[in-house]
Structure 1
Amino acid sequence: MDSAIRNDKTRLALAQLPILIRQIHGALRAARDDSERERLHSLLCSAYVAAEGACCRLGYLSLTTLVLDRLDSAATQTNDPLFKVRSLMKRARLLMSYDSTDSAMSLVEEGLGMISNDREPERVLRGYGHLRGAIVAARGRRLDLAQSHIREARLIARPMDRESDLYGTLFGPGNVEIHACSVELEAGDPGKAAREGSLLVLPKDIAAPRAGHHWQDTARAWLIVGQPDKALKSLTTARRIAPQQTKLHPDVRETLHGIAAAERRRSDSLGAFARWVGVTL
């Protein structure tokens, strides 16, 4: 499942997740002791974490509330408080998508406040929480706060030599720099986001959809600063890295319409890309 999500096979993951979740519920009914039930609830939490990420990646926001409710319920049946932290951060993302940034930031702060230890799982969740806080703050046009969260995330990621898969966070040095560009795009200097985003060298182990989304954001940044040709080039890079996500993500369609509106003449490359996505310009 994690492999499908990391390798831009989100549709496959969404097809498999309901079966997996039913199987875990079946195993729970047959569980013989509390230890086994606790382990299975942890697996269920991981499945719901993956389901929420897949739904968001493909723009199915209407499904995420139900998934997060199930994640909250499963998290109460484990002895791992970090699943509750993960759920709070995911709910913050959902609230942010509806412009409820103050409420979203409250959840981020609550989640960060629940992390007390300094083992690797706690450090990864803390770093992930700061990245979530950075984007929520940027959406709320609180640039100083967003940049403060980025600085905290950088400090945590600095000693890391890879992107972490713990709790499905994909947290690491590369992801921090991706979020730094996103902060500039949302609340700072889109030109800086475009320039630095185009020059950013991502780690080889970073998940394809994460890298693809970075190039989608870079395309938006180039469009905002009036360079539709570079925006299309960035979308082409996103397509090469994560074709399924690029083809299905609603932000790509919006960017394509923006490029078409900005171009004086409709280029053949834009027309070909639009046909591949299934958009009429």
Structure 2
Amino acid sequence: MSSDDTGAPATPTEPEPIRFGQRLQILRERRGMTREVLAGLVGKSTETIRAIEKGRHKAPGLDMVLALAEALRVRDLTDLVGTHTGRPAVGLFAGPGHARLPEVRDAINSLSLTTRHEAPPAAHLQARLGRAWSARHSSPDHREVIGRLLPDLIRDAQLAVRQAEAAVDRRAAQAVLSEVYSLSQFFIAYQADAAELLWRVAERGMVAAQEAEDPHAIGVAAWLAAQAHRDSGPGHYDAADAVTLEVLQYLEPLLPDATTPVLAIAGALRFEAGYTAARRGDTGTAWAYWDQARTVADRLPADYYHPATSFSRAIMGAHATTVAVELHAGGEAARQAVRAEAAVIPSRPRRARHRIEQARAWQLDGQPDVALATLAQAHEAAPETIRYNGYARKILLEETESTVAARRERAARLAVKIGLLS
């Protein structure tokens, strides 16, 4: 997902494993130990340790692994070797599975056809959904918070659809269910082994939105679907554009008299079109859509903040940073990063995501120390955002191989803090 947490939810493609050598270097740097010292402790040459860390030497045998673990005082051996389950336990663009993922998965897959529980009214569910969005935006551990709320919310929303008798009540329940599925995607996104579940929820959300005939729910479902397509790789950019542009065409006649949420989702979709263009390297189209999105944002109340997409006046600077970063324009990305103040973004996970985009800008502009400092700010805003963000992980891995000792140690400490080795 490019937008959360764009974060926004995304489907990871080919996760890159954390190599044994990279793990070794992170752990060594965390202890402030030089290669020379480590080599002496395990009876190897400095060049051998260097070769292992750089991947030029095959991973050592068990005796040497245990010697390295002892020298580095590693408490959990999997920190050094990872886990061996046939695939990497941690990849750059797929974070660890959250402890609450099984509960959320069970709720999504549940049919509850024999339950005697009476579903809450749609208005009650809508109020709970609103509180869940607020909790997500205000919490540093936002996945944990919404992971606790989602199972009951999903089951009750599903039940409301099944028990609705009148057509108007069924449409209202479908609209709520669609947006509950949208919230679910923010929890599921970037978790290892959850790609299939993410797509299932995305498709169900779009079906429910269309059944509801609700423009706002359709727009949110399309916004998330477009991100999932785009983040599946360049071969899916056309699919992302198809979803975005078709729903924009559907919304266009409604905009003169649209509610604020519908207007906001139309603006968010315009930015998504620009985001995809930036991924393609189409500079003119990317900035043209950003300009269109800004025009929509200017029509919103100054203090308005869309709960699902974060679209608002406050977010446009962050969006400009993202466009420049995706276009790999280092100087422009750095200029936009300076202009876009993260403090104006009220959502903690979205603020952390913007800090990560700023860090990408500094990295592109050849300022790695500023990038690391900005990642530390992202961690302070919302640790669960940076823990699941592939771009942040990539920067940290790169800087653990820096030729500057202080930078390596700083990157290693933050890598351990966000759980990169877990």
Equivalent of 1:6 in 113, 116, 137: 137
Is the CA contact (8 Å cut-off) linking 1:57 and 1:245 kept in structure 2?
Answer: no
SS at match of 1:174: coil
Distance in 2 between residues matched to 1:201 and 1:37, nearest whole Å: 43
Counterparts of 1:142-157 in structure 2 under 5 Å? 142-157=282-297
Query: Gapped runs of 5+ residues in structure 2?
Result: 1-131
Q: Distance in 1 between matches of 2:345 and 2:389?
A: 22
Once the two structures are superposed, residues 28-49 of structure 1 have per-residue CA deviations (whole angstroms, 9 ceiling, x without a partner) of 3333422222221111011011
Shift of 1:232: 0.3
Judging changes above 3 Å, is the alpha-carbon distance between structure 1 residues 200 and 92 closer, same or farther for their aligned structure 2 residues? same
Q: Could you say which structure has the larger radius of gyration? A: 2
Tell me, in whole angstroms, the C-alpha distance in 2 between the residues paired with 1:245 and 1:196: 21
Partner deviation per Cα, 1:185-236 (whole Å, 9 max, x = no partner):
0115122212321442246453111111111111122222322111101101
1:29 equivalenced with 2:162 (yes/no): yes
What pairs up with 1:171-250 in 2 under 5 angstroms? 171-202=311-342, 204=344, 206-250=346-390
Q: How does 1:84-123 map to 2 (within 5 A)?
A: 84-98=218-232, 99=234, 100-115=236-251, 116-118=253-255, 119=258, 120-123=260-263
Instruction: Report the secondary structure of 2:278's partner residue.
Output: helix
Note if contact 1:89-1:111 (Cα within 8 Å) is conserved in structure 2.
Answer: no
**2:203 aligned with 1:69:** yes
User: Higher mean Cα deviation, 59-68 or 102-111?
Assistant: 59-68
Q: How many angstroms does 1:58 deviate by?
A: 5.4
Offset of residue 27 of structure 1? 2.8
Is residue 269 from structure 1 mapped to residue 405 from structure 2 by the alignment?
no
Q: Which amino acid aligns with 1:178?
A: A
Equivalent position SS for 1:76:
helix
The one-letter code of the counterpart of 1:279 is L
Residue 62 of structure 1, CA deviation: 4.0
Is contact 2:352–2:386 with CA below 8 Å preserved after alignment? yes
**Counterpart in 1 of 2:303?**
162
Letter in 1 for 2:402: A
Following superposition, the deviation at residue 65 of structure 1 comes to 0.8
1:162 and 1:58, CA in 2 relative to 1: closer, same or farther beyond 3 A? Answer: farther
1:261 Cα deviation (Å)? 2.6
Task: With a CA cutoff of 8 Å and minimum separation of 6, indicate the structure with the bigger relative contact order.
Answer: 2
Which residue of structure 2 lines up, in the alignment, with residue 49 of structure 1?
182
Question: Are residues 62 and 225 of structure 1, via their aligned partners in 2, closer, same or farther at CA, if it must alter by over 3 Å?
Answer: farther
CA distance in 2, matches of 1:256, 1:229: 11
Q: Verify the 8 A CA contact 1:194 1:222 in the aligned structure 2.
A: yes
Stretch of structure 1 that moved more, 139-148 or 63-72: 63-72
Offset, 1:263: 4.1
Distance 1:97 1:110 in 2: 19
RMSD of aligned C-alpha atoms? 2.1
Whole-angstrom distance in 2 between the partners of 1:275 and 1:205 = 27
- Indicate how the Cα distance of structure 1 residues 26 and 174 shifts in structure 2: closer, same or farther if over 3 A, else same: same
User: Counterpart of 2:103?
Assistant: none
Aligned partner of 1:258 in structure 2 is 398
Over 3 Å counting, the alpha-carbon distance change for 1:30 and 1:63 in structure 2 is: closer
Bigger proportion of residues as helix = 1
Name the counterpart of 2:63: none
d(CA) in 2 for partners of 1:224 and 1:204?
24
Q: d(CA) in 2 for partners of 1:203 and 1:216?
A: 14
The answer (yes or no) to whether the contact 2:264–2:311 under 8 Å persists in 1 is yes
8 Å CA contact retained: 2:136, 2:146: yes
Letter in 2 for 1:29: R
